[in-house]
Structure 1
Amino acid sequence: MQARFPADGITIKGQSKAYRRSADSGNQITGHFCPECGSTVYLTLDIEPDLIGVPVGAFADPDFPAPPASIYEQHRHHWISLPEDIEHWQ
């Protein structure tokens, strides 16, 4: 799960390693990882160059807001429950 933010509002410090691949849609996605521990730090999508995705697990805030939408639901684990009142994308 990730939160997406306008790229012009994000400041990235330090180094990262990048891995580029094709998403299920055929669009290109680049994952940026910590070179020390391998944790995903942020993601960029060629189709949405003005947004940066940050894994929600990177935030230590238990009150982090719930997502307004869900994508790639066909890949989620069966035990993940999603609110009915959000936008659902397959």
Structure 2
Amino acid sequence: MARGDVITGGCGCGAVRYTAIDAGLRPYACHCSGCQTRQGSAFALNQQVPVEGLVIEGETITGAVLSVSGARVTHHACPLCLTRLYTVNDRRPEWPTIRAGTRDDSTELVPAFHVWTKHKQPWIVLPSGVPAFETQPDEAQWMALARGEGSARLVR
């Protein structure tokens, strides 16, 4: 998907749909214990989009948690089927994070980097050559990786 394209997606029952402008930020996998619990899976596949380009059709419910990084994160979900669609991190409110599995084209997505690998399930083998972090990169590293400006495999 090229920068400036429109991303579309929605919940499992179809009651909530979204469109978002693709700002060119790449999807990533978060292996933190919070994502594992809230996803009910081994990791979350996420992608950030600009807040001014995110349009939600339908009502959502919200819930907030304190993430492992210390940020307050508000989750937005369908009130009917409870699919979590996106989150807003208080440290990056201008970049909501969509749950990439809710995208209409989610089968085409591959994580560009991995965060919070110190919490990853032991059976997951990270691909070689893909940047990975034991915790969370600082904001400058984060945005460079999301924009595709970081290619070294970093583990800290």
Q: What TM-score range do you get, normalising by the shorter chain?
A: 0.7 to 0.9
Identity percentage of aligned residues: 25
Q: Secondary structure at the match of 2:118?
A: helix
How many residues are matched? 89
Q: Counterpart in 1 of 2:51?
A: 7
Name 2:86's counterpart in structure 1. Answer: 42
The match for 2:123 is: 79
How far does residue 86 in structure 1 lie from its aligned partner after superposition?
A: 2.4
CA-CA distance at 1:77 after TM superposition: 2.4
Please, which moves more after superposition, 34-43 or 70-79? Answer: 70-79
- Which structure features the higher share of strand residues? 1
Deviation at 1:80, TM superposition (A): 2.8
* Misfit runs of 4+, over 6 Å: none
Q: Report the TM-score when normalising by structure 1.
A: 0.84
Give, in whole Å, the separation in 1 of the partners of 2:49 and 2:129: 21
- SS at 2:63 equivalent: strand
* 1:14-33 → structure 2 map (5 Å cutoff): 14-33=58-77
**Residues 30-58 of structure 1, C-alpha deviation per residue, up to 9 Å, x if partnerless?**
11111001110111100011111111211
Structure 1 position 63 matched with structure 2 position 86 = no
